[in-house]
Every structure is written in C-alpha cells, then in structure tokens.
Structure 1
C-alpha cells in the first residue's frame, strides 16, 4: 500500500537503529523539499532523466504521426512553462526564500495528466491542460481567469455549450481541490495529491462521456451519489450539532448515509432504462462464469479477512499489509481475462465502496464507524498517521483499477501486487544500501525489477496480456519503473501504476 523499501513502518526483524535511520531519512527528504538546489540532487536527476526518456519516446512516436499531436505537445510545453514561471514568481516574491518553493513533485502534476491524456484521450487534452494550471500559486480569481483564457483560446472553434462546460469543469476542479485540501488538512493528502485527485475526479464526474461504457456509468453515478449524500450530511451535521448529543447525531448521519446513498444511486444510475440492482442481478444470473467469479471472490474474502485479523500478530505490519496486495493480484488477474467487463464494473463499484468505508470511519459514525477505525488502524503506517484520512487502501484500489479501466492493463496489479510488495519486504529485511536522498534501498529496487519482469512475462505467455510488447521491452518498462520507484517519494500506489501504464503504451507496437 505504497510502502517504502525500508519498511515505512515497524518491521520486527530490522534493528532499531536501522529503522530509526530510515525514518530519519524520510523526514529529511520531506523537510528538504523546496530548496533552491533541490533539482540537482541525485534522486531528482534520476527522476528527470526517466521522465525525459518517456517524453522523448512519446515525441518520436506521436509528434509526426498527426498534426494534432504537434499542437498538444506545444500546449503542454506552454503549461509547463506557465507552472515554472509561477514557481519562479513565488520564489522571487518571497525574497528568494527557498521554503516558498513548491515540492519537486509538482512536476508530476504536469507530467502524469499530460502523458495520460496525450496517450489515451487527446480529445479532452486542452481542458485538462487548463486544469493543471490550478497548481500555480496565485490569487484564486486570477488563477481561474488564466485557466479559462487558456482553455477557451485553445478551443476557439468549440460550440458555445462546450465552452460553458469547460468553464464549469475549471470551477469544479478548484472546488474539488479545496474540499480535498480541507478534509485532509493537507496532511493525509498534500497539495500534489489534491491536485492530481481533483483532476481525476473532474474527468470522472464531468468531462468524460459516461455513455461509452457501463462501468464508467457505474463509477460516475455512484460517485455523484456519494458526494451528494456526504454534502447533505455535512449540512445536517452543522444544523444538528448544537441540538443533539454526539451519539444521536452520529446515528442520524449514519442512517441518512445508509438509506440515502443506495437510494440516490438507484435514482441516478439507469442501465438500459433498468433499475441498477435488477440489472446487476440479471447480469450475474445470466452468466455461469460471472457466478463462479463472484463465488470465488466472496469465499476468498470471507475466509481470508477473519484469518488475517486473527493471525495478524504473527506477521510484521509490513507483511500483513502486503497480503492485501497479493490477494488482489490473485483475485483479479485471471478473472479479468475471462470477463473483463464484469471485473471493471466490480472495480468501479469498489472504488466508491472503499470511499464509503473511509467516510464512515473518518466520522466514526455509529454503530460501525468506531469498529472500522479500530480494525483499519491495525494496518495503518506512518503515512496514514500524518492526517485524519487512512489513504493506503484507497490508493491501492485506485492504483490497481485505473490502468484496467483506462486501457485493460494489468500494470497496477503487477507493480503493486508484486513489485511494490516485494520491494518493501526485501528492502525492509535485507536492504542496507540506500538510494541518495530517499529511504528506499538498492536491494528493494532489484527485487521490484526482478519480480515485475518475471510476473509480466508470466502474464504475457500464460494469461495473454502484453501481446504487442516484446520481452525486451517489458524488461525495459519494469526497469524504468523500478528506478523511478526507488528514487521518488510520491506515493507509490499512485505514481508507479500510472507511470507503468504510460510506458506500456509507449512500448506497444
């Protein structure tokens, strides 16, 4: 769940002195972010080199293939320059105070949306480029105007209704960023995370056309239902706070959520003009394969969850967390090849289900909120303890589901289910040589590369994945991902699946 090679958590087999060194290294890395000489540090140079390689590959593959790609590259360059100018302006305005510089990881707020949109949805590129500009530190009114001007100038031929949609998307993106920042207190999620997630949510909720696929309809409708009921509960909480005691208020909010959320889903989601619950039951009942997959999932979860909770004390925190990574890999890889649409519908629903669980835990809504908090805290690491949100399991489901939903790709399963897990375990137990400026180890990186290459080749030859990628290119993809994972401090569960998805597409024949 996004753990570092060196454990990122208590590992009983590692000497205390070494564990302290690792946490000190992590703290030092975070504290040093934003220094004026940050970019010339070894780990930053490695990241820039890797990202530069992929941009060069994208240029060679796409720039001359279609004139539209040339325009998108130029617009992407304009966005990157605008972000750099904003950084420099902030730096100068602060009297050359290096602490006012944003983190180096702001580069991923530009890189990840740019590359994913370029490779998978160029029709929505310019409005997403405008959303990226939200990361610039400037007065809100001025920033929204800059974003609107950029988008409207690049979409000058669009219909009036489309232009209005772009303006709404810009405002929605800022509102989502603000909500995420306030809820997480910029601790559970920092400004980089909030910008990335607000762009992702704006695309899911508003920009992309939900008619294209059933699983996207499920994701959009359930997400809107979730956010709407959360908003209703927020208003209700403000009204009831001075009137009711804590327990009664909690029970009222819980009732509104558990009744209102499924009811609103049934109102918003219509599949072929059918009630979603009736459609889902019929969808599963008419396929013996789907019934088998569902039974395997249920039996596995009902068997493993109690056992993991009972025998957790026999495992280190690191190992007990990685069990879930391996479990998701096993439960999704084969079924996805058998019935990909069913798995994608399940993953789309699971994303909102995980958010619902976290919402109940976050507010400790009775009668189950406190219980959820006590159980999920058993698997929390130092990143989960930074703020009020437990982010690990949400990051895990997003990192695994996003490549499958976007491009039918198992790279999230491979990178998180195998690579990140073994890197963390091997690095935590046997890692001794650290990458400069990080708390991750060479040994963990080697484990990541070897395990992901091996798993990718197995997926290619026995499950039919990566049909248009050579074994050599698969090895290059895994090596680049391993090096990036070893040198970056951005959460692995978000960065590595996204980066591996990008490189997979670049190396596809």
Structure 2
C-alpha cells in the first residue's frame, strides 16, 4: 500500500509538471500560476466570491461528515442538498463572474478526478474517508465510480464549456433551472406529498407541478431583475421548463445530465 500511495503522488506530480503546466504555459504565453494569481486577485468581487464558494464547500463537507457519523444511507432528498449547494454556487458566479466560474469549474473537474482516483485506489490520507462518504451517498446509478455527482457537475457546467460566446444568462442557467431548482423541488415535494403517481413511473404529479412552478418562479425573478429582457426568450424558457418537467417525470436515468442538455438545446434553437 505504501508503494501504491507513493507512486500515485509521483504520477500526479509528474502529470502536472510535464503535461498540464507546460500546456497552460503555451496557451497563455506566460506562467499559468502567476496569471491565475493576478486574474483572481485583480478585483475585490472575485475574492469575495471565492470566499463565499469556500463557505459552500465547507458546508458540503460538513454534510458528508455528518452523514458518515450517522452511519445511515442518504435518501434521495438528502442527496438533493448538493443540488441546492450547486444553485448557491452557480447563480452568483454566472451573474457576476462567469469567466471566473468557467476557470473554477475546470479546476474542480480536475480535483474531482484526483479525489475519485484517491478513493478508488484507497490512497492515504483521505482514501478511506472518501470511500465512507461514497458508501453513504451512492445511489443505484453509482457502482465503482461516482457517476451521479459527475453527471450533476457536467450538466451544470456544460453551457459554460461550450465554445459559444455571448450566451444569455438564461441559457447559462440551463442546468440550474432544470436540475438545481426544478428536479430538487420536485424530489422534495414528491417525497412528502406525492400521493398521485404517473403511469409507469415512480414520479408524482405533485412533484411535477412543483417542478414547473419552481422553474417558472425563477424565470419570473430573472425577468423582473432584467436578466431576461427578450419576450421570445422569456416564452422559450417557460415552454421549455414545462416540457422538460414532464420529461423529468418519466425518466430515472442520468437526468442530472440529460435535462440540462435538453434545456440548452431548446434555448439555443
């Protein structure tokens, strides 16, 4: 185990030193670490936002630790806490500093892969704790890999990663609207007051109604704040949210990834 741990860290440092940093140097035509420092620290808003994100990260870690201490398998409603945290992270980032959020999402993706390898290979010092967290929060889609959080992260970040400039805020919020808000509210309402089920589905009519209303509410708030000033885009958001809420009611597979992609396509048409 010692040799595995040592080789893991040696390989990680080698990849960063030989591949990642030189590639970033070529792309930026300057030292990437210095560039990142000045990019992050050149505005007070960015520093405040990073501090806020750090608090959200700490809250997420505390939720995982609390669930491990309880030693109880997390329910679907409990897992939706991370959807709520994603909403709290992404909405301020997309409104105020979407370029910083783009950079942060790439770094977090790399960190996610690093921690997932550490968990899978049981690399000290965090491998065992990460495995305990995985065991507490894994659902039927997760086997050897934490696919559910990966799908959620990719679904939320997909509009940011697309090579398209000047996207409107509602398009960038495709994942937040469908998964972060709609799916979360649907799960919460459906698990408590979902007495009427759709045919051939374990989703409830009450959950679908809550999904629609929550998304419409967010769209109206965005319009009131001036982020949706185009009548056609406003109507697109409303119709897409309603249609995708019915799709959400009929699917149990990778909705964290599928729903944001479908919403993005609908708003880009």
Q: Which range, TM-score by smaller chain?
A: 0.7 to 0.9
Per chain length, whose mean CA-contact separation is higher, i.e. which structure has more relative contact order (CA < 8 Å, sep 6+)? 1
Is contact 1:431–1:441 with CA below 8 Å preserved after alignment? yes
Look up the SS of the partner of 1:422 in the other structure. helix
Deviations 1:226-269 (A, max 9, x none): xxxxxxxxxxxxxxxxxxxxx12321332224312332311221
Per the TM alignment, residue 284 of structure 1 is displaced from its structure 2 partner at its CA by: 1.2
Q: Quote the residue 2:112 is aligned against.
A: 354
Residue 310 (structure 1) shift: 4.9
**8 Å Cα contact 2:77-2:191 kept in structure 1:** no
Matched, 1:273 2:29: yes
Q: Which residue is 2:88 aligned to? A: 330
- If you compute each CA radius of gyration, which structure gives the higher value, 1 or 2? 1
Contact preservation (8 Å) 1:419, 1:449: yes
- Which position in structure 2 is the counterpart of 1:134? none
| Residues 279-318 of structure 1 mapped to structure 2, 5 A cutoff | 279-302=35-58, 304-312=59-67, 313=70, 317-318=75-76
Q: How many residues align?
A: 257
Shift of residue 367, structure 1, vs aligned partner: 2.9
Matched, 1:456 2:211: no
Q: SS where residue 489 of structure 1 aligns?
A: coil
1:404 and 2:160 aligned: yes
Give the alignment partner of residue 101 of structure 2, picking from 343, 346, 351. 343
- Aligned residue for 1:298, secondary structure, equals helix
Match status 1:493 vs 2:237: no
Where do residues 83-482 of structure 1 align in structure 2 (5 Å cutoff)?
247-263=1-17, 264-270=19-25, 271-302=27-58, 304-312=59-67, 313=70, 317-384=75-142, 387-406=143-162, 408=167, 409-462=172-225, 464-465=227-228, 467=230, 469-482=232-245
Instruction: Specify the SS of the correspondent of 2:28.
Output: coil
Unaligned ranges ≥5, structure 1: 1-246
**Does the Cα contact within 8 Å between 1:348 and 1:401 map onto a contact in 2?**
no
State the TM-score, normalizing by the size of structure 1: 0.47
Q: Secondary structure at the match of 1:389?
A: coil
Deviation digits for residues 166-192 of structure 1 (CA, Å, limit 9, x no counterpart) = xxxxxxxxxxxxxxxxxxxxxxxxxxx
Over the aligned positions, Cα root-mean-square deviation in angstroms equals: 2.3
More divergent stretch after superposition (271-280 vs 475-484) = 271-280
TM-score normalised over the length of structure 2: 0.86
Give the ranges of 4+ consecutive aligned residues of structure 1 lying more than 4 Å apart after TM superposition: 313-316, 465-468
Pick closer, same or farther for the CA change 1:336–1:433 going to 2, 3 Å: same
Deviations for 1:399-456, whole angstroms, at most 9, x for unmatched residues? 1000233254111011111111111122222223322222222222112111111112
Aligned equivalents of 2:226, 2:84: Cα separation in 1? 17
Name the counterpart of 1:189: none
